[in-house]
Amino acid sequence: MRQISFSEALNEAMAEEMRRDPAVFLMGEDVGLFGGVFGVSGGLLGEFGAERVRDTPISEAVIVGSGLGAALMGMRPIVEIMFADFVTCAMDQVVNQAAKARYMSGGKAHAPLTIRIANGAPGSAAAQHSQSPEAWFMNVPGLKVVVPATPYDAKGLLKTAIRGEDPVLFFEHKMLYAIKGEVPEDDYTLPFGQAAVRRQGKDATLIAIGGGVTLAMDAAALLAGQGIEVEVIDPRTLVPLDTETIVASVKKTGRAVIVHEAHRRAGPGAEIAAILAEEAIGYLDAPILRVAAKNVPFPYSPELEQYMLPKVEDVVAAVSGLVRYTL
């Protein structure tokens, strides 16, 4: 099967959906003439024109608010938030309007709005351009939260988001844009709420989110050299969350480590840990651990940024420590 990059997979998904459905359009800062600050929308303006690939003012409130209005009137907008940190400028539109439109209309209004959000630390982007705020939106009923980790998932999940009837926050870790993977040329979608088992194992479960999947897979390879076989679970979506697959894996291995780049305090791992405490406590042989960013703003200094970010060796230490804990 052919291999393409994560960003190419996203580009293909948008182009194919725009060809399939004239109600689909893209809007955001620099998505048209510039092709997106990360190059994800390159070429779309030339094919679809400025009516369907719209460069917007530098105002996230306008971008999301306009997209929501279009969605409520029957369109299927894709809006891009250039950096996840700036979604704070559109919190009312996301949290109080888009998330609640269906509920407050008694199901009469639908908001098929896909919000693409570039998250994660790309390297010395500092405190206002490096955050991973997925957990903020897990707390809001009415929103779906997607965290793809491979090109295959990026394309299939984005197509599902665009075709759905509810607002979706689609988080794209910046350091994944260049990775390559197998992506079929045939049309396909992936269901929300269905985790992927990236690696089979018996000694511990690694639940890894977004960019954390790469860390988990690298750590799993190193741990195998120590005779420790870990199972790696990629939730793919945080809302809805495939608790069945996660709990089943932890019941099998008896140990759980959650890996994500979001800050440790109240990050997505906290919710997953609570679910495991409620549904799998009798099967756990050791405490649930989280490997995540330290609870400080992201520094500009490359050395300090690396210090506060989770690393492969942190994951290895957490898992090997749990195994020793129960020997």
Residue 249 CA: distances (Å) to CA of 51, 182, 206, 230, 254? 48, 26, 9, 10, 8
Q: Determine the Cα–Cα distance for residues 205 and 286; give it in Å rounded to an integer.
A: 12
Expressed in angstroms, the distance from the first to the final Cα of the chain is 43
User: With b meaning 16 or more CB within 10 Å and e meaning fewer, what string describes 120-146?
Assistant: bbeeebeeebbbbbbbbbbebebbbbb
Active-site amino acid positions: 129
Answer yes or no: are the C-beta atoms of 99 and 140 closer than 8 Å.
Answer: yes
**Which pair of tokens denotes residue 209?**
């989110």
Q: Determine the Cα–Cα distance for residues 5 and 10; give it in Å rounded to an integer.
A: 9
Q: Determine the Cα–Cα distance for residues 246 and 195; give it in Å rounded to an integer.
A: 8
**What are the backbone angles phi and psi of residue 34, rounded to the nearest 5°?**
-85, -20
Residue 87 CA: distances (Å) to CA of 68, 111, 236? 14, 18, 21
Q: Determine the Cα–Cα distance for residues 281 and 279; give it in Å rounded to an integer.
A: 6
Smallest CA-to-CA distance from 216 within 281, 282, 150 is with: 150
